[in-house]
Structure 1
Amino acid sequence: MRKGIIATVLGAAAVLAGCKAGGDYQGLEYAPNMYHSVAYEPLSQITDESAGTIVNSLDNGRGEYFNSNKYNPYAMNLREPAPNTVKRDPRGWLPYRGKRIAKDSIPAYTAKLSNPLRRDTAQVAAYLEQGKVLYVSQCQHCHGKTGAAESKIAQNYALGVANLKAENYLGITEGHIFHVITFGAGNMLPHGSQVSPDDRWKIAMYVKQLQSK
């Protein structure tokens, strides 16, 4: 009985010692295929063809962990885009290539920027409803329910929040609104990374509807 206990303890100690990693020794792994993908991965390339030979189950002579495409530049699994090309969205639209500029320059800068969602006239009503939901979640906390900057944030923010019902804002275009949501203006920070292009256009449509009331 005592010998059995001692053998069990020694066996457990050996297993635990084998799991200890440090320096150049990374320890033992249980079921390494759970940690190292055999399939290609776009952002993680292991270029050493001998990596993982100790657990190799492949018949191509390479280690289990090798997951690079040696025919692509830098052995990457992602292909670099062709030179001088611009990725289009699923509809074939080009991305907006604007930039943050002085507030007073925005009207002229966006004068020819039109809302592509307006082309689908049958969906305009649906886009406006979606724009309302987006406005409530993304804009109302500052600009207020009606757009007149009646929110608590606007009332307590010393630097001011734009009153979208003010006379000097009534003439702004949907392109102007889209640009400001994307890159920010004045005290407003950019929201281009938080709101998709389609959703920015829907918000712009709804803001113009608010201004007409």
Structure 2
Amino acid sequence: MKGSILAMNKNKFVYAAFLAIAFAATFSACKDKRSTGLEYARNMYDPIAYNPDQPNKNFKDGKTAQLPPANTKPVGFEEYDEYPNTLEGYNEAGAKMVNPLTADSINLEQGKHSFVVFCAPCHGEKGDGQGHLVKIEKFNGVPSYLTGASSRGGNMIDLTAGKIYHTITYGVNNMGSHASQILPIDRWKIVMYVQQLQKGQ
């Protein structure tokens, strides 16, 4: 009996101590309105690495953002110098470049997705040149893949895979280059989907 009373008193003491600590913590947090309170494990959410625009004593020039070493290329980078951003380069790409991907349902579906994200705002989801940016009159003169004329000669419906790829890479007229946003393999998937739209499918 005496032991059970001691155990109950011990439990009450622990409970009272917990309440006192909780009250003290709450009171101290409310005391200074500008205080952020106690912080636990700051290193869990404060970055250890330098930000790109931060000074950095580890480099001679004191900058964190460094240029990559000479003659290095980003992962997945593919040279495209053999077809320059000229009318001659455009026509040569149209004559020589062939889509390396197989025209299967997976590539077409992925091409459609990329087309809807990057191209449809101007070209329209059907390739009719009536994207929502055209409809709000932000851009004019976007040709239809079925009935439009290319500003570089010929009809849009006759554009080859190489010409479409060249245009995605460099851009033309109001359309800027998409080389930095779309990987080469994804450009070919878009080309595949555009050629499906050219057929009216």
CA RMSD of aligned residues (A): 4.4
* Count of matched residue pairs: 161
Maintained 8 Å contact 1:45/1:75: yes
Contact 2:94 2:161 in 1 (8 A): no
Question: In structure 2, the residue corresponding to 1:107 is in which secondary structure?
Answer: helix
CA distance in 2 between counterparts of 1:187 and 1:36 reads 41
TM-superposed deviation, 1:185: 0.2
Question: How far 1:165 sits from its partner (Å)?
Answer: 1.3
1:194, distance to aligned residue in structure 2 (A): 3.0
1:177 corresponds to: 164
- AA matched with 2:176: L
Asked whether the equivalents of residues 103 and 186 of structure 1 are also in contact (C-alpha less than 8 Å), the reply is no
Which SS does the other structure have where 2:141 is aligned? coil
Question: 1:98 touches 1:179 (CA, 8 Å); kept in 2?
Answer: no
**Structure 1 segment 48-197 matched on structure 2, within 5 A:** 68=58, 83-89=70-76, 94-97=78-81, 101-102=85-86, 106-116=90-100, 118=101, 121=102, 124-151=104-131, 153-154=133-134, 156=137, 159-166=140-147, 168-197=155-184
AA at the equivalent of 1:189: G
Structure with bigger gyration radius: 2
When normalised by structure 1's length, the TM-score is: 0.53
The one-letter amino acid paired with 1:134 is S
- In 1, distance between residues paired with 2:84 and 2:141? 19
CA distance in 1, matches of 2:192, 2:199: 11
The CA deviation at 1:147 is 1.4
**Deviations 1:113-154 (Å, cap 9, x if unpaired)?**
3333x1xx3x73201011112222322232223212244644
C-alpha contact (below 8 Å) 1:100/1:184 kept by paired residues = no
Query: Counterpart of 2:80 in structure 1: which amino acid?
Result: Y
Identity of aligned residues (%): 32
Unaligned runs of 5+ in 2: 1-30, 35-39, 148-153
Equivalent AA in structure 2 for residue 170 of structure 1: I
